[in-house]
Structure 1
């Protein structure tokens, strides 16, 4: 029997939010290497975004750069409309823009709570909705991938707003998978553990040189290792994968009970 549904979806355009550095930059380059023109967004680091665009163009793919502030919720969708128009469509949308804070629950003020939720969830909703509407209109199917976190699945002390936003993002993606499947659009999350990026303060370090005894693989991840999973989910080969969360954490989540039984102090109670 000749059965090859993967050949029905051949992506040529992608948007990666927060692609001025880290996982976003690695993803933009990986998708360009896979043959896609890429829309690149930045919030505070325009030079970083232009650097990403230079890498994309070096692979003979088109790169469009735009500013995106997902805390400016009403305008988040407008930035997507601009990029989609400049690219001539969007086959793959990767929601990577995000932020975190280290404030414990009792000390967390409402403004910080809302800023984190606007960045990680509310702005993401509008961006993904704009992309999905174009995919439905084009009638060619599509891929929507949200970069969440291992904290989509397990909480962390000092991360009330972050944990809430990532849990909610995972739930949103699952609902999108149910509603968009009929249009040939898949929706998945990728949930990284500690990755050597600006957010973890390890961007310029070789992850293999950093010791992490509590992680089965013994080290943080490289942004390109996350990008490789995203590139798979963006490809024709992932045609039957939707509503899933792909954990990329070196086995960190598997250490829950093991870590709990081996802790010897109370340092974990602080961020």
Structure 2
């Protein structure tokens, strides 16, 4: 099967990693479906940048906490684009509430946005790919916290662990259709989620990260673009850490901490 992707959807593409990914896929020759939850102006800016690459951009509202509608938004984008070859599940949110103080409502909000909504949206895209019979690429933006937890992020950690497990299962179940499923696990990236939107990551020092700085959204998008391409045809069920080496610092960081400052939700 020869895979030649023409149509992509990137959820949560009004800013940050999602915007950089939509542009990277447009540069690779794909028309792109762009979604927003609360930042319509940002989505339109992404669309303008996609169109500047000579590709079509379709913008739609998609809220992954609205489980009754987010799947329909994916179907609508597929219809408008004319198909779906690449689906990037990037939409999500974080939380910063220690476990003992977290309410069930807060837990459900994060898990709904980061896992339940992802299931609904990915399933709709996968069904389209199977019906079309041309193979496909499913890529989920998880987090380094798919692999290692963070103090004060119990719901987020659980959801990202779950999303990583879902992707591995999809690799098993969808491989017979020529569909690959992979995750990209960013570390600290200079985006709105880390209060560093449009900042140069080289200006921020991170002694605890081997590369010594946060990442740029385009550095994550470059890995996603590879996984979306024909070149990744034998890669499935993997989780690609894009973290400057952060995950390698577990024992090193644990043995070199000199205070209890990490026991703060802001650590």
Please report the TM-score for the alignment, with normalisation by the length of structure 2.
Answer: 0.99
| Structure 1 equivalent of residue 162 of structure 2 | 168
Q: CA deviation at 1:205?
A: 1.3
Provide the rounded CA distance (Å) in 2 between the counterparts of 1:176 and 1:75.
22
Which of 175, 187, 191 is the matching residue for 1:197? 191
Provide the rounded CA distance (Å) in 1 between the counterparts of 2:14 and 2:69.
20
| Structure 1 equivalent of residue 113 of structure 2 | 119
Q: In the alignment, does 2:95 pair up with 1:101? A: yes
Provide the rounded CA distance (Å) in 2 between the counterparts of 1:123 and 1:153.
20
Question: Secondary structure of 2:262's partner?
Answer: helix
Question: Secondary structure of 2:17's partner?
Answer: helix
Q: CA deviation at 1:76?
A: 1.1
Provide the rounded CA distance (Å) in 2 between the counterparts of 1:33 and 1:102.
35
Provide the rounded CA distance (Å) in 2 between the counterparts of 1:250 and 1:151.
14
What stretches of structure 1 move > 2 A for 4+ residues in a row?
none
Q: CA deviation at 1:75?
A: 1.2
Q: In the alignment, does 2:234 pair up with 1:206? A: no
Q: CA deviation at 1:92?
A: 0.1
RMSD over aligned Cα atoms = 0.6
Q: CA deviation at 1:200?
A: 0.2
Which of 221, 232, 235 is the matching residue for 2:226? 232
Which of 60, 63, 81 is the matching residue for 2:57? 63
Question: Secondary structure of 1:55's partner?
Answer: helix
Query: Which structure 2 residue ranges, 5 or more long, are not aligned?
Result: none
Deviations, residues 202-249 of structure 1 (Å, cap 9, x unaligned)? 112110010000000000000000000000000000000000000000
Please report the TM-score for the alignment, with normalisation by the length of structure 1.
Answer: 0.97
Deviations, residues 142-191 of structure 1 (Å, cap 9, x unaligned)? 00000000000000001000000000000000000000000000000000
| Structure 2 equivalent of residue 242 of structure 1 | 236
